[in-house]
Structure 1
Amino acid sequence: MKWSYLCLLVAGLLPVVCAGIAKAGLKGYDNHNPRAWLAQVTGFRARANAAQANSFEAFPFFASGVLLALHAGVDPVRVDALAIAFVLARLGYIACYLADKATLRSLVWTVGMGCVVALHVGALLVG
């Protein structure tokens, strides 16, 4: 099993998880106009919505890194390790966002971005 494939699935679902956190349990959710409704939430719900947006933004760069690295012939164990580290960093990022730990969140974001850069650089060096 390529763990990197599973990580692509998990990373692709993280925005949905964040959206669920933002919307769950609050009365008055407007499914007819969810974006306008989410723009008005505050606290951890607003941070969950921001984490959702950032997760959508991070996913294409991560996915292309995994696919390019595998296509270029980077050692699959290395790709798997970087993909797992990225997903763990993203989970930490979301947790820090929800807990309003901005400095730690930025540090964890940097770790995740480093994993993605390493995937792309690996593809460049092998390919």
Structure 2
Amino acid sequence: MTVAYWCAFVAALLPYVWSMSWRWPVYSFKANLSPRRFEETLTGWRQRAHWAHLNAFENFPPFVAAVIIAQQLGVPQSTVDRLALAFIVMRVAHGVFYLANIGVLRSLAFAGGAVCTIAIFLSAV
């Protein structure tokens, strides 16, 4: 498997990393009966971790599509791999900055991840 495909795997797991960060030790089986209602009661860093979780899900499909398309169209593997690794770095930073409530850096990391996805798509043109 290529580095880019491994990055797609990591990107698929990132939403769960952010989700698990706030769930322990406060998440109980009672909360599991109506998780959406429970998530609405979150505050502080736990709420931000939940938002990072949702955002990671939103950014996964375009990234994976870009990787698959670029590889199918014969973009040099080193290009796809480097951009995919940069995407993962940006998305991990985004989540960390989200939890730390550092809005400006969070937005820059988000933009960096988006630029990586766009660059992977455009490399296939």
Q: Same fold (TM over 0.5)?
A: yes
The residue identity in structure 2 corresponding to 1:15 is: P
SS at match of 2:112: helix
Establish whether residue 101 from structure 1 lines up as the match of residue 102 from structure 2: yes
Of 73-82 and 20-29, the range deviating more from structure 2 = 20-29
1:93-119 deviations in Å (ceiling 9; x for gaps):
000000000011001111110000001
**Post-superposition offset of 1:23:** 1.1
Establish whether residue 2 from structure 1 lines up as the match of residue 10 from structure 2: no
TM-score by length of 1: 0.94
SS at match of 1:49: helix
- Shift in CA distance, 32/82, structure 1 to aligned 2, threshold 3 Å: same
Q: Give the distance between the partners of 1:36 and 1:27, measured in 2 at CA.
A: 12
1:9-56 deviations in Å (ceiling 9; x for gaps):
100000011111121111656111111101110000000000000000
- Shift in CA distance, 73/47, structure 1 to aligned 2, threshold 3 Å: same
**Post-superposition offset of 1:86:** 0.1
Question: Which aligned pairs between 1:1-127 and structure 2 lie closer than 5 A?
Answer: 1-26=1-26, 28=28, 30-123=31-124, 125=125
Q: Give the distance between the partners of 2:51 and 2:93, measured in 1 at CA.
A: 14
Unaligned stretches of 5+ in structure 1? Answer: none
Instruction: Please provide the CA RMSD for this pair.
Output: 1.1
Structure 1's consecutive aligned runs of 4 or more residues displaced over 4 angstroms after TM superposition are none
